[in-house]
Amino acid sequence: MTAEQRRNLHAFRDYVRKILDPTYILSYMTPWFRDDVVQHIQAEKNNRGPMEAASLFLQLLLELQEEGWFRGFLDALHQAGYSGLYEAIESWDFQKIEKLEEYRLLLKRLQPEFKTTINPEDILPEISGCLINQECEEIIQISSNKGLMAGAEKMVECLLRSDKENWPKTLKLALEKEESKFSELWMVEKGAENVQMKDLEDDEMKTLDVQIVYKEEPENQNLSQNSCPSSEVPPTFSPLKPRNYQLELALPAQEGKNTIICAPTGCGKTFVSLLICEHHLKKFPQGRKGKVVLFAVQLPLYEQQKSVFSEYFERFGYKVSGISGVTADNVSVEQIVENNDIIILTPQILVNSLKNGTIPSLSIFTLMIFDECHNTNKHHPYNMIMFNYLDQKLGGSSDSLPQVIGLTASVGVGDAKNTAEATEYICRLCASLDTSVVTTVRDNLEELEEVVYKPRKFFRKVESRTTNKFKCIISQLMAETEALAKSIFEELGTVTLENLSQIQNRNFGTQKYEQWIIAVQKACMVFQMPDKDEESRICKALFLYTSHLRKYNDALIISEDARMKDALNYLKNFFRNVRAAGFDAIEQDLTQRFEEKLLELEGISMDPSNENPKLKDLCFILQEEYHLNPETRTILFVKTRALVDALKNWIEENPKLSFLKPGILTGRGRTNQTMGMTLPAQKCALDAFRTNRDSKILIATSVADEGIDIAQCNLVILYEYVGNVIRMIQTRGRGRARGSKCFLLTSNADVIEKEKMNICKEKMMNDSISSLQRWNEAVFKEKIRQIQIQEKLIRDNQGKVKPVVDKKNKKLLCRKCKTFACHTADIRVVEECHFTVVGDAFRECFVTKLHPRPKNFGSFEKKAKIFCARKDCLHDWGIHVRYKTFEIPVIKIESFVVEDVATGAQTLYAKWKDFNFEKIPFDAAEMSTCSGPQFAGNGWP
């Protein structure tokens, strides 16, 4: 070893200390270290940790005088698996390792979340290549002996020491594969998550009608007369020849009429929109140009439409571009609209641009196309755009308005109970879109039916288990837990568990019971006592009891539709994580009660006589269909994400069905209990199902409202699943589609009746459309105009009614632990819709950790999340941002309880707009005396 190598190793020793666990390479260093030295290093690790052991190891290493030890050290690193460290020392280039530091810092900050959300046994196979073999063995052993949380903690320790430059990305892929909610926090590159952010706070999740879509490829590719398979794309472009029914659908729009086009999914409405758009752009005389905007509700549809329109129109010299929530911060909306002929938008982009004046008027466009136009109602962005349109129309503006086209497979009927009510509902949709024509295929029905086949539908009523010992035991545990909760109130003598919620006749193992639990938890948030410590104790106890009741209820729901084994595993996993987290006396008592019944529950769950009759029937259907057609491709719809996992395990463990090799697909939406599948994970699942012929079945929750295309299915099974189904089946291609089947399998007769009611409503909708198509056009237009005038009058009057401002000072308390946060007198409104708190006192009330998705929003730079400073709480309060030159917190009202200072009355608010306190505008001059550009708040504990 040269003196230069010795100096370099000493200079770079800090990198080595952070990565190397010397005990993993000591067996390769025996020629240079005596046994007592090896034991010394081992003891140092046991007593003070691997970093101190690495320091001792390097000290002893640099003192060696024997020849060859430096080469031996490098060989030992290579043999043990320290490939990154080996490469860095051999070249004396540590840049790759240096780049990992930001991910180490992020993982350290996210360690508490990692421990509570990650099952290390699930992701270890995917990330084992980033760890040392001995580390993998230790993680498995610790998970087995001490629980999953301890195993996750060990995994974090090992990742922090990893020298593999790809470990952050590998971890990301593993998390996405397992659909872990931690994936949303683990950001390995800017823009990794396709999340549309409308403002600085979390978006509100909205419940929409269920829409199920089955597609093979974008609609324009396979539905024209001269279409060819995607694998046989012609080398030169030739204009696509439309089918006759597509020309029929396009005709009223090409005549310049505002039109809703209602036609089955799979018939090629996208291609129809291309025909309309092309005709519209070509009709303008020389010197004038049209400008088209097409709206897509969800990101996957936006990407699909942008690709289709770009490919089609750029051949003719038209300029096509698009903006979504993902790209909006990086481009100028004004310039994109000005410089392109066709613009594809997610609708909130235009809503925001109209509000802030970036787009002064809809008159800039000559044609607007609304994909999935049935969404034009209530406060949907489509309706916000059309409010602007109708205000301009009814306000007597001389500016021209764009033509409006709506595309949908179903206009719906809302809550209509007869044809007259359905007709009124459709008229209101037409009024919202300012359309006086609803176009359907009438003259070319035979041609349409040759392209779009309706699947045969079968209803299967299955009996439930005659006896259910599993449910009896779990119900007993739930009754005991309820009794414990009731005993708390008996101490008080002022309120009972029953009158905390209005929900009555609740039964264990039902959605109604879960609603009761949620209602009780909300009631506890505003529960008050003179003794605040006692109030906190009671609220926390009730939170624990109701949380356990909710898990038991989940297990009963799983056992009703899947195996008892799956339900028991769900509970065992829950209690394993509770134990690993160091539970308190209440949790210890609840865990003991469960463990006392565990052996009996395990015996019941393994008894073949307790097999679920619904699973027997599902197995029969699948065996029969694959016997008739081994090439069958199936999608199995279920209600919950927990049931997706349970049925996947059942199929894989069933020797009669394991050949199906199931894939899974869940929605992107986040719930209080689970995290949705990320967009990349969804795409990965769909691509795998599309390309891997071994995977013959996809198990999914309802995902169609998110615009996801499901490929190549000719068998659909709705397993205890029914909704307001707007789109039933779309299978494309020839031969296979003709034999499509759809089974509804349920033990509940009401489910079958609801599905039959949906079929009746579909007929009611079609009859209503036919009736409207026979109306005189002038009469229809007048009907639409009267509805528009009435709706505008209501909107205008609602805008005039301003709530009375409550000027009394209020307290904001943490919604979880009731700790005081601030007074409303200290709250300031920033740019009309964001709320901050001034004064030094509030800074002591919260702690911060770096935001997983830092991002710029206009004058804001989102930097960190803020949490309640109480170590036993850490409730999410909002975010920390840089606003111009100031570092300020931005708080969420849904994180707090509002208490009246005078009366002590407490209230919950879901949105700031519902809280009518005196809103004082943000004043930079005021901030100069209480906040500077330094980062405020305390660090994450």
Question: Would you say 553 and 574 are in contact if contact means Cβ atoms under 8 Å apart?
Answer: no
Q: Nearest to residue 552, comparing CAs of 594, 598, 589?
A: 594
Question: Would you say 636 and 699 are in contact if contact means Cβ atoms under 8 Å apart?
Answer: yes
Give the pLDDT confidence score for residue 931 in this predicted structure: 44
Residue 178 predicted with pLDDT over 80: no
In Å, how far are 192, 193, 314, 834, 864 from 185, measured between CA atoms?
11, 10, 38, 23, 12
Q: Is 814 annotated to bind ligand? A: yes
Residue 673 predicted with pLDDT over 70: no
Give the pLDDT confidence score for residue 758 in this predicted structure: 80
Residue 710 predicted with pLDDT over 70: no
Considering the chain, what is the average pLDDT of its residues?
81
Q: Where are the alpha helices (DSSP H) in 178-298?
A: 244-254, 269-282
- Full DSSP string of 383-434: HHHHHHHHHHHHTT--S---EEEEEES----TT--SHHHHHHHHHHHHHHHT
Over pLDDT 70: what percentage of the chain? 84
- Full DSSP string of 632-656: --EEEE-S-HHHHHHHHHHHHH-TT
Residue 843 predicted with pLDDT over 80: yes
Q: 148-160 and 101-109 helices cross at what angle (nearest 10)?
A: 160
CA–CA distance, 536 with 817 (Å, rounded to integer): 6
188-223 tens-digit pLDDT: 654 333 333 333 333 333 322 333 333 333 344 444
Hey, which bits of 284-399 come out as E strands? 292-295, 320-323, 342-345, 367-371
In Å, how far are 135, 641, 653 from 556, measured between CA atoms?
38, 15, 21
**CB-based burial label for 148 (10 Å; 0-12, 13-18, 19+):** buried
Residue type, 458: F
Q: Nearest to residue 709, comparing CAs of 629, 631, 642, 635?
A: 635
Q: Which residues pair with 697 in a beta bridge?
A: 634
User: Residue 5 has which token pair?
Assistant: 């190598």
Instruction: Name the residue with tokens 């031969």.
Output: 735
CA–CA distance, 676 with 483 (Å, rounded to integer): 34
Question: Would you say 822 and 842 are in contact if contact means Cβ atoms under 8 Å apart?
Answer: yes
| Overall average pLDDT of the 462-490 stretch | 88
In Å, how far are 53, 56, 474, 668 from 13, measured between CA atoms?
13, 11, 57, 45
Residue 45 predicted with pLDDT over 60: yes
Give the pLDDT confidence score for residue 237 in this predicted structure: 42
Residue 686 predicted with pLDDT over 90: no
User: Residue 246 has which token pair?
Assistant: 């597509």
Q: Is 817 annotated to bind ligand? A: yes
Give the pLDDT confidence score for residue 941 in this predicted structure: 55
Give the pLDDT confidence score for residue 318 in this predicted structure: 92
Q: Higher-confidence residue: 109 or 160?
A: 160
Residue type, 864: A
List b or e across 871-880, with b for residues whose CB sees 16 or more CB atoms inside 10 angstroms.
eebbbebbbb
In Å, how far are 276, 297, 611, 731 from 707, measured between CA atoms?
22, 8, 36, 16
Q: Higher-confidence residue: 736 or 247?
A: 247
Question: Would you say 334 and 358 are in contact if contact means Cβ atoms under 8 Å apart?
Answer: yes
Confidence of residue 331 (pLDDT cuts 50, 70, 90): confident
CB neighbours of 418 closer than 8 A, spacing ≥ 6? 764
pTM score of the predicted model: 0.63
- Full DSSP string of 541-594: HHHHHHHHHHHHHHHHHHHHHS-HHHHHHHHHHHHHHHHHT---HHHHHHHHHH
Angle among Cα 213, 219, 225 to the nearest 5 degrees reads 135
Residue 694 predicted with pLDDT over 70: yes
For the ranges 104-108, 609-613, 804-808, the maximum mean pLDDT occurs at 609-613
Question: Would you say 439 and 769 are in contact if contact means Cβ atoms under 8 Å apart?
Answer: no
Confidence of residue 503 (pLDDT cuts 50, 70, 90): low
Residue 321 predicted with pLDDT over 70: yes
Give the pLDDT confidence score for residue 210 in this predicted structure: 33
| Overall average pLDDT of the 126-144 stretch | 86
Residue 668 predicted with pLDDT over 70: no
**CB-based burial label for 665 (10 Å; 0-12, 13-18, 19+):** buried
531-547 tens-digit pLDDT: 877 877 777 788 788 88
| Overall average pLDDT of the 518-533 stretch | 79
CA–CA distance, 600 with 604 (Å, rounded to integer): 6
Q: Helix (H, G, I), strand (E, B), or coil: what is residue 932?
A: coil
User: Residue 828 has which token pair?
Assistant: 């300031």
CA–CA distance, 701 with 685 (Å, rounded to integer): 13
User: Residue 526 has which token pair?
Assistant: 């505003």
Give the pLDDT confidence score for residue 117 in this predicted structure: 80
Question: Would you say 838 and 927 are in contact if contact means Cβ atoms under 8 Å apart?
Answer: yes
Confidence of residue 497 (pLDDT cuts 50, 70, 90): low
Question: Would you say 211 and 676 are in contact if contact means Cβ atoms under 8 Å apart?
Answer: no
Give the pLDDT confidence score for residue 677 in this predicted structure: 65
Confidence of residue 274 (pLDDT cuts 50, 70, 90): very high
Instruction: Name the residue with tokens 């010394």.
Output: 40
In Å, how far are 275, 283, 337, 363, 940 from 286, measured between CA atoms?
20, 9, 20, 20, 64
| Overall average pLDDT of the 734-753 stretch | 73
Residue 84 has a CB neighbour count (10 Å cut-off) of: 21
CA–CA distance, 594 with 435 (Å, rounded to integer): 61
Question: Would you say 816 and 868 are in contact if contact means Cβ atoms under 8 Å apart?
Answer: yes
> CA dihedral defined by 418, 419, 422, 424, rounded to 10 degrees?
-110
CA–CA distance, 434 with 405 (Å, rounded to integer): 9
Give the pLDDT confidence score for residue 669 in this predicted structure: 54
Residue type, 812: L
Residue 394 predicted with pLDDT over 90: yes
Instruction: Name the residue with tokens 């050949």.
Output: 659
Alpha carbon 121 to its chain centroid, in Å, reads 23
Give the pLDDT confidence score for residue 680 in this predicted structure: 58
748-781 tens-digit pLDDT: 888 888 878 888 888 899 999 999 999 998 999 9
CA–CA distance, 771 with 773 (Å, rounded to integer): 5
| Overall average pLDDT of the 428-456 stretch | 90
CA–CA distance, 548 with 537 (Å, rounded to integer): 17
